[in-house]
Structure formats: C-alpha cells, structure tokens
Amino acid sequence: MSGKTVTRAELAESVYQEVGLSRNESADLVEAVLAEMSNALVQGETVKLSSFGSFSVRQKGQRIGRNPKTGEEVPILPRKVLVFRPSHVLKDRINNGG
C-alpha cells in the first residue's frame, strides 16, 4: 500500500499512453466518460460496468436526525443517494493485491 491518490490527470495520462491521442483530447475523453455516467445517473439510470461494478440511485425516505453537538432533533429530508456495488472481479483483485 503506497497511499497515493489517483486523479483525473493520471487517468488522462494513461489514456494518452494507451491510445495515442493528444494529452488534451485524452483529458477531454476522461471528462466525457464521467459526464456520461453522471448524466445517466441523474436521469435515474443504473450504470453497469462488467468486471468493475454498478452504480445505482436509491431513494431515501425522511427520517429524524439529531444534531450531535446540540442534541437538537432535525428532520433529514427525503433524498436520493448513489450506491456503488463493486463486482466480484474488483473485490477479488483488491484482496489478492492484483
């Protein structure tokens, strides 16, 4: 474990190395992939990527929360949350250090 953080820049660099487009275009395509996934999710679609995992949107109902500092009760409004379910392939890779 090296504790590094990978960002868009590293993803764009890999696309640049792997596909041989310009650095700028590689960065634009990384952005386009994230934008397409986001748009699909915002429309309520599930995004399923075989051997990686799936992203889906779940509707949460209203519940009563509490401000932990003041102890005051506050309603947590109904909202949508995004859930990522990793595939078995990804889980196995993480546990075998692949």
Partner 1 sequence: MTRSELIARIAQQNPHLYHRDVERIVATIFEEISSALAAGDRVELRGFGAFSVKHRDARVGRNPRTGESVSVEAKAVPFFKTGKLLRERLNK
Are 46 and 21 within 8 A, CB to CB?
A: no
Neighbours of 52 (CB within 10 A): 13
Judging by DSSP bridges, how do beta strands 63-66 and 47-49 pair with one another?
unpaired
**In this complex, which beta carbon is closest to partner 1, that of residue 66 or of residue 84?**
84
Binding partner 1 by CB under 8 A: which of 8, 23, 65, 66?
A: 8
d(C-alpha 12, C-alpha 40), whole Å: 22
Residues numbered 25-44 forming contacts with partner 1, rule: CB under 8 A: 26, 29-30, 32-34, 36-38, 40-42
For binding to partner 1 (CB under 8 A), which residues are involved?
1-8, 10-11, 14-15, 18-19, 21, 26, 29-30, 32-34, 36-38, 40-42, 45-53, 55, 57, 79-82, 84, 86, 90-91, 93-98
